[in-house]
Amino acid sequence: MALDIPVSKLPRVIVIGGGFGGLNAAKALKGKNVQLVLLDKNNHHTFQPLLYQVATSGLEAGSIAYPLRKFLGGAKNAHFRMTEVEEIIPSRNEVKTNDGYIKYDYLVISTGASTNFFNMKDVEENASELKSVSQAIDMRHMFLQVFEKMLLTDNEVVRARLMNFVIAGGGPTGVELAGALSELRRRVLPDDYPELDLKKMRIILLDQGTKLLASMSEYASDHALKYLEQFGVEVRLGVGVKSYDGRQAVLSNGEILPTETLVWAAGVKGELVDGFDSSLIAKGNRLKVDAYNRVDGFSNIFAIGDVAMQEDERYKNGLPGLAPVAIQQGSHVAKNIMKLVEGKSPEPFKYWDKGSLATIGRLKAVGDLSKTMHLGGMIAWIAWLVVHLFYLIGFRNKVMVFSDWIWNYITFDRRVRLIVRPYRKEKIKGDSA
């Protein structure tokens, strides 16, 4: 069965992945003279930059996700199927999903990235990661349950272990998560857990490199470090995690750090689908593409966003894995496909770098507008809020997030402190309490 997509005389464009890249490609192909088929293993788009706020009880999960069917809005030429793509068979212009095969005239691969544990199986099994809505909800449950557990043990060794919150990876996700946890510690947890001595709660941010936010300027790295230290986060540079069994992390300097909450935010790799020769796969498990985002050697297969490795004169190791890259490539590839359908020549892609921002906490953020123009403090924080609201998909989501932010700002509260589905880390044997 070919996923029951109606037969059409129009050329069929399959877009795999409804993330930032795929969604923008789909947006530009809706209502055009092609048959658009959007495939995703989830039925929603995830606004990944705000996952950490779901994990730290600041936002509802539903405010940062958007149903893909609603996004297509009933466009007559568009079809969505919730299915996982297993393989691409370029010789037959066909995609194999776990629900059947489907042929394409043009294919856009926008499957994003997954967490890279660098072959450390025990870390992969026992640490938490933050890539999807369900992982963010799990993480929220994990954090909240740990505080409940602290009150159910009189064993000081166990309680000390539960008090250690460790984040590996000092990129934007690690920095933002550490900042949000420190706000919970300062503003929210003391009211909820007056019986706990929260001065003993440690938030430890580890990074193997020499600075935080390595892809940003020295200004941004230095200010992020300063703000985190002001918030009482222990930042340890030049130290990584070598193994983790769910109870203790062994660090690269040999130190043993007891913790039941290790978050792994120290690496990503392209979420490749089978079907391509290894010669087409570049560093970081990404598909090599040319200036038109065509996968090397194919005229009708395009890859965009985090799964694509596109070099230009400014980015010798490929464009960065950022939402704006995926967004711009998505709409550009769609325009090029329409040009090809109309018998015109495609145009090369040029990334417009509008700068980058990272928030650390209340009134504290950092931003690089250009190589020489940097922002910090409240101005960067406001810029961060505005940019994230602008890119969030869906008017209702924008309103919900904005009102939650106002509420959180005025009341110092984090509304979503709910454990609705008990979280159990399967790999931890025995009861730690």
Ligand X SMILES: Cc1cc2nc3c(=O)[nH]c(=O)nc-3n(C[C@H](O)[C@H](O)[C@H](O)COP(=O)(O)OP(=O)(O)OC[C@H]3O[C@@H](n4cnc5c(N)ncnc54)[C@H](O)[C@@H]3O)c2cc1C
- Using CB under 6 A, pick the residue from 324, 361, 367, 394 that binds ligand X: 324
**What are 122's two structure tokens?**
């025990």
- The catalytic site residues sit at 176
Residue 22 in contact with ligand X, rule: CB under 6 A: yes
SS3 154: coil
The CA distance from 265 to 165, in Å, is 13
State in angstroms the smallest separation of the CB of 326 from ligand X: 3
- Distinct helix (H) and strand (E) counts, the chain: 12, 25
Q: How far is CA 238 from the centre of its chain?
A: 24
Q: Dihedral sign, CA of 44, 124, 120, 207? A: positive
Q: How many residues belong to the site for ligand X (CB under 6 A)?
A: 33
User: Which residue number, 48 or 77, has a Cβ lying nearer to ligand X?
Assistant: 48
State in angstroms the smallest separation of the CB of 16 from ligand X: 5
- Using CB under 6 A, pick the residue from 13, 15, 19, 414 that binds ligand X: 19
Residue 80 in contact with ligand X, rule: CB under 6 A: no
Looking at residues 349 to 378 of the shown chain, list those that interact with ligand X (rule: CB under 6 A). Answer: none
Looking at residues 84 to 143 of the shown chain, list those that interact with ligand X (rule: CB under 6 A). Answer: 84-85, 110-112, 130-131
Looking at residues 216 to 255 of the shown chain, list those that interact with ligand X (rule: CB under 6 A). Answer: none
Residue 172 in contact with ligand X, rule: CB under 6 A: yes
Going by DSSP bridges, is the β-strand pair 35-40/12-16 parallel, antiparallel, or unpaired?
parallel
Residue 20 in contact with ligand X, rule: CB under 6 A: yes
Residue 312 makes CB contacts below 8 A (sequence gap 6+) with 291, 319, 350, 351
Site string for ligand X, 47-66 (x = CB under 6 A): -xx-x---------------
In 98-240, the DSSP E strands lie at 100-103, 106-109, 113-115, 164-168, 202-207, 234-237
The CA distance from 26 to 20, in Å, is 10
Residue 170 in contact with ligand X, rule: CB under 6 A: no
Q: Which stretch binds ligand X (CB under 6 A): 4-12, 201-209, 249-257, 315-323?
A: 315-323
Q: Dihedral sign, CA of 230, 141, 196, 412? A: positive
Residue showing the smallest CB distance to ligand X in the complex: 19
State in angstroms the smallest separation of the CB of 212 from ligand X: 14
- Using CB under 6 A, pick the residue from 3, 42, 90, 296 that binds ligand X: 42
User: Which residue number, 204 or 307, has a Cβ lying nearer to ligand X?
Assistant: 307
Residue 321 in contact with ligand X, rule: CB under 6 A: yes
Dihedral of the alpha carbons of 298, 350, 48, 59, in degrees to the nearest 10: -150
**Structural element, H or E, at residue 248:** strand 248-251
Q: In the complex, which residues of this chain contact ligand X (CB under 6 A)? A: 16-22, 39-42, 48-49, 51, 84-85, 110-112, 130-131, 172-173, 271, 273, 305-307, 321-324, 326
